Amino acid sequence: MQKILFKNIDVPDARSLDTYKSRGGYAALKKALSLPPEKLISMVEESGLRGRGGAGFPAGIKWKFLPKDRNRTIYLICNADEGEPGTFKDRHIMEFDPHLLIEGMTITAYAIGAHHGFIYIRGEYNWIAKLLMSAIIEAVTEGFVGYNILNSGFSFYIDVFRGAGSYVCGEETALMESIEGKAGRPRLKPPFPATFGLYGESTVIHNVSTLSCVPFIIEKGPEAFSKIGKPRSHGTKLFGISGHVNKPGLYEYPMGTPLRKLIYEAAGGVRGGKRLKAVIPGGLSSPILTADEIDVEMDFDSLLSIGSMLGSGGIIVMDEDTSIPMIAQKTAKFFAHESCGQCTPCREGTNMIKFLIDRIIAGKGGHTDLEQILRLCRYIKGSTICAFGAAAAMPLNAMIKKFRGEFEALVR
């Protein structure tokens, strides 16, 4: 099976530049620098690469959105905030194969005309931030990053910026506010980052996994990428499987692999021979699936068609002993805690959902409380500044609708 993101994962010391180079690293960068930037953009567009952070926006189109004026400052940001509960894919790339990301960023920067890039890494990944910084220094020393890269006349610098522990800073405009030194609160859109991003300049922002796919596409060609996976969901994806499975971990599979296969083949099935109860397929904000729904194929469209989403690919598996109301309580607590507080439906809504679920779990809730939670979920979604509101409302809505009996049993 073709590995794109995990091609070096079993190689000892893959994180050193020498090992990375001996495995063919930075060949894609050399090839990229010999091509005109427009060619690179069309290659990425043809490959059908879609954002791996959750929204699945086509990368090539994002690059084409940039103003054509080449004299404008353009920033490239790598979103390594990875705050979605159940998600742990980017840290492995950065920790064990940092040069893959650095090469992907440098190629992307050359394609879009950026000379300054940021890696916004979540604060808890302190040691990974250090590893990244030493990898960048290595790359600068050998001329893969920095001034006049490989004597091509193109210069690109990378800064590592550590977040301070906020989930919403994974939202692209909140992330930019955070780099600018302000409170991490999402901006009103429009304007979008392509025209008004970091420091008010045009900005392209990508997830770690998205950028790490770029070297493969440039080196092997867009067809090699687009023939993997399914139509409209090309390439491979890292699936982080956690919860009640025998072999929790991170697995690279083509897009469109059935969820059943991931749980029962890759992760070795449900722990202790228990029955499967529910699965969260793409990080906490993706609506929960019941055991009957796991034949779904893990790609953008298939999950959307059954009312969930691929999200970050963080799969959380729950066995028959799991209490869904308790999961809902944790979920509500998380989103109430992480809401930035800027807009009312999200700030007050997530707080109210938490209050109501706590009351239900404590045995003091009534049937109207369930109805009020569903009412909140319905109207929070789509009325907030950023996607956080929907991310909080959708999973709770699904938990109550699909496991209503369990909630009913708790209310008077």
> Contact positions toward other proteins, by CB under 8 A?
166, 183, 188, 336-345, 347-352, 355-356, 359, 372, 375-376, 378-380, 382-385
SS (HEC) of 275-343? CEEEEECCCCCCCCEEHHHCCCECCHHHHHHCCCCCCCCEEEEEECCCCHHHHHHHHHHHHHHHCCCCC
Are 114 and 76 within 8 A, CB to CB? yes
What is the C-alpha to C-alpha distance for residues 49 and 107, in angstroms, rounded to an integer?
15
Smallest distance from the beta carbon of 368 to other proteins, in angstroms? 8
Nearest distance, CB of residue 201 and other proteins, angstroms: 21
Strands 116-121 and 157-162: parallel
Report in angstroms how near the CB of residue 389 gets to other proteins at its nearest. 9
Burial 379-411 (b: 16+ CB within 10 A, else e): ebbeebbbbbbbbbbbbbbbbbebbeebbeebb
Q: Select 186 or 243, whichever has its Cβ closest to other proteins.
A: 186
Our CB check for other proteins shows the closer of 13 and 371 to be 371
* Residue 35 vs 374, nearer CB to other proteins: 374
State the minimum distance, in angstroms, from the CB of residue 375 to other proteins: 7
Identity of the residue, 176 or 380, whose beta carbon is nearer to other proteins in the bound complex: 380
Give which of 15, 184, 188, 196 is closest to 97, Cα–Cα: 15
- In the bound state with other proteins, the residue whose beta carbon lies nearer, of 385 and 396, is 385
Minimum CB separation of residue 265 from other proteins in Å reads 37
Q: What SS3 state is found at 166?
A: coil
Q: Rounded to an integer, what distance in angstroms lies between the CA atom of residue 395 and that of residue 139? A: 42
Question: Rounded to a whole number, what is the distance in angstroms from the first to the last CA of the chain?
Answer: 53
Cα(204)–Cα(112) distance, integer angstroms:
8
Residue closest to 105 by CA, chosen among 124, 121, 83: 121
* Phi/psi at 257 (5° precision): -65, 135
Q: How far apart are CA 395 and CA 335, in angstroms?
A: 11
Closer CB to other proteins, 119 or 174, in the complex: 174
Smallest gap from Cβ 405 to other proteins, in A, equals: 24
Which is nearer to other proteins, 207 or 342 (by Cβ)?
342
Nearer to other proteins, 127 or 379 (CB): 379
Q: Any idea which residue has 């001034």 for tokens?
A: 147
Distance of CA 96 to the CA centre of its chain: 18
Q: Which is nearer to other proteins, 337 or 367 (CB)?
A: 337
Quick one: 57 or 147, whose CB is closer to other proteins? 57
**Least distance (Å) from other proteins to the CB of residue 401?**
18
- In whole angstroms, the minimum distance from the beta carbon of 353 to other proteins comes to 10
Q: How far is the CB of 335 from other proteins (least distance, A)?
A: 9
* CA distances to 200, 385, 409 from 79, in Å: 18, 20, 42
CB 334 within 8 A of CB 166: no
CB of 164 to other proteins, least distance (A): 11
Smaller CB separation from other proteins, 160 or 353: 353
Q: Hey, which bits of 172-258 come out as E strands?
A: 202-207, 229-230, 233-234, 236-243, 249-254
Distance in Å, CB of 173 to other proteins, minimum: 12
